A and B are shown apart, each in its own frame.
Chain A
Amino acid sequence: MYAFLFFLNFVLIYTIFAVYAERKISAFIQDRYGPMETGPYGLLQTVADLLKLLQKEDIIPLAADKRIFKVAPLIIFTSVFAGFAVLPLTSDFGGSQIETGIFYLLAIVSLDVIGILMAGWGSNSKYALLGAMRSVAQIISYEIPLGLSVVCVIMVSQSLNLQEIVYQQGIFINSIDPNAQNFLFGIKALGIETTHIGGFLTWNIFRIPFFFFAYLIFFIASLAEANRAPFDIPIAESELVAGFHVEYSGFRWAMIMLSEYGMMLLISFLGAILFWGGWNTPLPNIGAVALADWTSGEPGTIAGHLWGAFWLVSKALLTVGLQIWIRWTYPRLRLDQLMNLSWKYLTPGAIILVLVSALWRLLMI
């Protein structure tokens, strides 16, 4: 329950500042100033925009399918927000710790496709319909490499529970399994035990070095899932005006934007949890200099909560920053290039990685 309240407020506040960051970063990349007038450094620009959006008239096109049109933004946001229900924020705080956590997350997030279809179809507009079609084709295609790269992690961690996956990547591994050990690069034959060294050495991305490529696939696919550039043909401004949400205004439009940024955050959290150690500290214990112990509290203590939340949130926000950076750096892909990338490169690559992770798991035991 507390996790629900926390994540709801966190997503709302984060979105305000993510939109601001998006404007400032794009301005920096394009050698402009970005928002300057409202508040110091334009910090209140998004707040002002939000106030404007809330006051705007809720316009519904005359020929639209009104029931479907009205309910679509709610479905998009609900399905994205439902994904937050299983995220572990710290060692002892977070959403539900169900045994099928990551499986649930991937299933429930894929429901936002329904909302997008409803929005596109209900608008009764060519732009919206085309945008929705593209969006759905893209999301369904990229779910496959995304799912396979997640399977790589599951094969190594032998668990679908997100909290358990995080525990395995740090110095508190023995609090869930007293006999568990971590080795450098996960290879037991090397004989260098890192169980009590922790830090970045036990993160999945370092524990199993080829996971870097798995993360690359995960990251590319997650950009496509969130309809972000360079995979933003569903909302390509130059062709489709705004894609599936072209007819929306006011609060409903704000909901759609909220779910887009919420999706970015969710997928960043997920990447941090699966590959970058979740709430574990990046600093290792080096002999007497116990950096890992100093920068992470025991699970359940206040220090544990604060350090855990700090590390996980900073990792997630850095990933969001990376997404924004990429959006303003790369041009968008053409539809056929998009499908080629997913089906001819990412999916076969992810299948090979699944095989490699099965073999690597043999080295770890």
Chain B
Amino acid sequence: MPIENIIFYAFLGLTGLSALFILLSKNILYSAFALIATFIGMAGIFVLLGAEFVAITQILVYVGGILILMVFGIMLTNRLSQAKVETEVYNKFFGILISVGLFYILAKAIEMADFANMGWMKNAPSSPSSVRDLGMKIMTDYVLVFEVIGILLLLALIGAVRIAGNTREEGADAA
């Protein structure tokens, strides 16, 4: 077996096992750490599929940013309130029903879609992804979308500052 395949299956195993762990673990903090492992495993799969840029963005945004804030939040609430934050299982019957149904629909759809023979897949360049091309496309063909996302993020930032700043009471000496 070529070494790429071994690495691919290793990342696949990491992703699958850590996702299972999220489901089965009661400790919410362990689940958060397992989610980090899931995302890293997915980043590895992205790299092996030739989507290097997506993989690194995944690590930077999801693992480096969002998940760390999540873990931070869990830790602050957990240790300060002295109460254990645990997940419990509710609605077992409907939960399993919905997830199995969703899985069936997705699996069926992916099987029927036959991605490999779609027009845009066949026309796609076979060369490895180029950051330069991506940048050019973003700044020309998709510049409107890019700018709109930028404004959306700015709005979210201003909103966050407004919500957080409203409840804060600073003394005169706090600089």
Residue positions of A touching B, CB distance < 8 A: 67-68, 98-100, 103-104, 106-108, 110-111, 113-114, 117-118, 121, 129, 133, 136, 140, 160, 336, 340
Residue numbers in A under 8 Å from B108 (CB-CB): none
Q: Could you tell me if B175 and A100 are in contact, using CB atoms closer than 8 angstroms?
A: no
Proximity bits, B146-175, A CB within 8 Å = 1, else 0: 000000000000000000000000000011
* The one of B53, B56, B60, B79 that contacts A121, using a Cβ cutoff of 8 Å: B79
* The one of B30, B79, B130 that contacts A129, using a Cβ cutoff of 8 Å: B79
Give Cα A117 to B63, complex, Å.
13
Q: Could you tell me if A114 and B131 are in contact, using CB atoms closer than 8 angstroms?
A: no
| Contacts A117-B75, A121-B75 given; does A136 touch B130 at CB 8 Å | no
Q: Could you tell me if B60 and A103 are in contact, using CB atoms closer than 8 angstroms?
A: yes
Residue numbers in B under 8 Å from A117 (CB-CB): 68, 71-72, 75
B59 at interface, CB cutoff 8 A: yes
B33 at interface, CB cutoff 8 A: yes
Q: Write the nearest CB–CB distance from A51 to chain B, whole angstroms.
A: 33
In chain B, positions 73-126 with a C-beta closer than 8 Å to chain A are 75-76, 79
Residue numbers in B under 8 Å from A107 (CB-CB): 56-57, 59-60, 64
CB-defined A-B contacts under 8 Å, sample of 17: A98-B52, A99-B131, A100-B53, A103-B56, A103-B60, A107-B57, A107-B64, A110-B64, A111-B59, A111-B64, A113-B64, A113-B68, A117-B75, A121-B79, A129-B75, A133-B76, A136-B72
Give Cα A108 to B30, complex, Å.
21
Give Cα A109 to B67, complex, Å.
15
Residue numbers in B under 8 Å from A336 (CB-CB): 174-175
Residue numbers in A under 8 Å from B64 (CB-CB): 107, 110-111, 113
Q: Write the nearest CB–CB distance from A25 to chain B, whole angstroms.
A: 33
Q: Write the nearest CB–CB distance from B173 to chain A, whole angstroms.
A: 10
Q: Could you tell me if A108 and B59 are in contact, using CB atoms closer than 8 angstroms?
A: yes
| Contacts A99-B131, A113-B64 given; does A104 touch B79 at CB 8 Å | no
Q: Write the nearest CB–CB distance from A235 to chain B, whole angstroms.
A: 18
Give Cα A7 to B154, complex, Å.
41
B36 at interface, CB cutoff 8 A: yes
Interface size class on chain B is 20 to 34
Residue numbers in B under 8 Å from A113 (CB-CB): 64, 68
Q: Could you tell me if A160 and B131 are in contact, using CB atoms closer than 8 angstroms?
A: yes
* The one of A99, A121, A140 that contacts B130, using a Cβ cutoff of 8 Å: A99
The 5 closest A-B pairs by CB, nearest first: A107-B60, A110-B64, A107-B59, A107-B56, A121-B75
Give Cα A28 to B33, complex, Å.
44
Residue numbers in B under 8 Å from A340 (CB-CB): 175
Q: Could you tell me if B33 and A100 are in contact, using CB atoms closer than 8 angstroms?
A: no
Give Cα A104 to B56, complex, Å.
6
Give Cα A107 to B29, complex, Å.
22
Residue numbers in A under 8 Å from B72 (CB-CB): 117, 133, 136
Residue numbers in B under 8 Å from A114 (CB-CB): 33, 36, 63, 67-68, 71
Closest to B53 in A: A100
Give Cα A100 to B58, complex, Å.
13
Residue numbers in A under 8 Å from B71 (CB-CB): 114, 117
Give Cα A67 to B29, complex, Å.
12
Closest to B67 in A: A114
Q: Write the nearest CB–CB distance from B130 to chain A, whole angstroms.
A: 7
**Most central of B67, B79, B174 by chain A CB within 10 Å:** B79
Give Cα A160 to B135, complex, Å.
12
Closest to A98 in B: B52
* The one of B60, B67, B68 that contacts A140, using a Cβ cutoff of 8 Å: B68
Closest to A334 in B: B175
Q: Write the nearest CB–CB distance from A73 to chain B, whole angstroms.
A: 15
